Amino acid sequence: MEEVLVEWAKAVHRENPVVDAHLDLAAEVYARRSFGERDVVERRYLPYFREAHLNVCVSSVFVPSKDLPERGLRVALGQIAALREDLEPVRDVICVVTNREELEDALQNGRIGILLSLEGLEPIGTDLDLLRAFSDLGVRGAGLTWSRPNAFARGCCKAGEMMEISGGLTMLGREAVAKLEELGMYVDVSHLNNDGFEDVVECAGKPFMASHSDAWSVHENYRNLRDDQIAALASRGGVIGVNACGTIAGASVYPRERAVDCLCRHVEHLVSVAGEEHVGFGFDLCNGLSASTPRLSFDEEEDDLLLNHGEMLTLSGALLGRGMSEDTLIGVIGGNFLRYFRRVLS
């Protein structure tokens, strides 16, 4: 039965747009190329992208805390340059897209489009004018912060922690929301704390998104959204990407059946609260970045409930098997995020 469902899912993926709204691709490519590795995306990701029939992937530009504040801007620029350089040999297959027209061109010509998004505004320090520089480099979205405080906002706690962090957007944070919208860049609330989320609801004039968040009602983690937040985001035209990090979703990597079941429950709950047009995938698969990051311990973090993008087919098949309609699945696998990008991108 599972094989039949996967084949059904494969047909749906093949015939409809497929999107992952969050992957730390640029950070991993930057790390691996710094140690001499080349063709990172082609060798490590492209086969699985093709297996899932992925059409669009959002790559975060994420600066680790160890590089802040002194090297934040340098590392962010280095990540963008490294990703573009790494994709150059396969530019006819996968490429960075910087606006709505380039996205449509990639879709029409069978190329995988990579959108860039800042995971935290730490690289610009307190200089909002630098947002235009990142916009000119093709960065199309941004979260105000990662799970740490900065000049714009306070992040929620890290995935493995359980605490309420108070404090909303600073005045500079509110100005940053306005500047992002002015530049045609979307606002991502996935790492904001609850107070910050409420401030974005208040001050944002355009639809905002949560690229990689799950449902608090399914698993209580401060990286996840409460039902009232889910409804508020949907009412503003946003989309929520289901996160496949085990700590955030509330499941362990093994057994695989329980991991997929957990993700299905998050998808189903989000659809029930937000509506079927406001839920997508933003898996936040981190095993690759973890493996590329130097550490004192030889232990690697393995918290991804999907081992690669090819397993998107298993998740989609499981959703179909649990009774999700094909029309709803078409939106979840990519149609909803693609509609959002077409609406908000300059």
In sequence order, the 6+-apart residues with CB closer than 8 A to the CB of 297 are none
Give the start-to-end residue ranges of the domains of the chain. Answer: 2-344
Handedness of CA 105, 108, 109, 113 (dihedral sign): positive
Q: Over the stretch 193-229, which tens digit does the pLDDT of each residue have?
A: 999 999 999 999 999 999 999 999 999 999 999 999 9
The 8-class DSSP code of residue 190 comes to T
**Amino acid found at 260:** V
Using the structure block, give the residue that is written with the tokens 């004192």: 296
Which CA distances in Å does 293 have to 196, 198, 204, 299?
A: 30, 34, 35, 11
Given a cut of 70, whether residue 159 has pLDDT beyond it is: no
Given a cut of 80, whether residue 21 has pLDDT beyond it is: yes
Q: What percent of the chain has pLDDT over 70?
A: 97
Average pLDDT over residues 288-315: 83
**Predicted structure pTM score:** 0.96
Given a cut of 80, whether residue 115 has pLDDT beyond it is: yes
Q: What is the pLDDT of residue 156?
A: 87
Q: Round to whole Å and give the CA distance between 313 and 5.
A: 9
Which CA distances in Å does 341 have to 133, 172, 213, 338?
A: 21, 25, 18, 5
φ/ψ (deg, to 5) at 253: -65, -35
pLDDT tier for residue 300 given thresholds of 50, 70 and 90: low
Average pLDDT over residues 294-317: 82
Q: Over the stretch 37-81, which tens digit does the pLDDT of each residue have?
A: 999 999 999 999 999 999 999 999 999 999 999 999 999 999 999
Class of domain 2-344: alpha beta
Q: What is the pLDDT of residue 105?
A: 98
Average pLDDT over residues 142-170: 87
H/E stretch holding 93 reads none
Which CA distances in Å does 23 have to 27, 88, 197?
A: 9, 19, 22
Q: What is the pLDDT of residue 110?
A: 97
Is 21 within 8 Å of 337 (Cβ atoms)? yes
**Amino acid found at 90:** V
Q: What is the pLDDT of residue 203?
A: 97
pLDDT tier for residue 296 given thresholds of 50, 70 and 90: low
H/E stretch holding 203 reads helix 194-203
Tell me the three state secondary structure of residue 113: strand
Q: What is the pLDDT of residue 257?
A: 83
Average pLDDT across the chain, whole number: 95
Please count the CA atoms within 13 angstroms of the CA of 210 that sit on its side-chain side.
Answer: 33
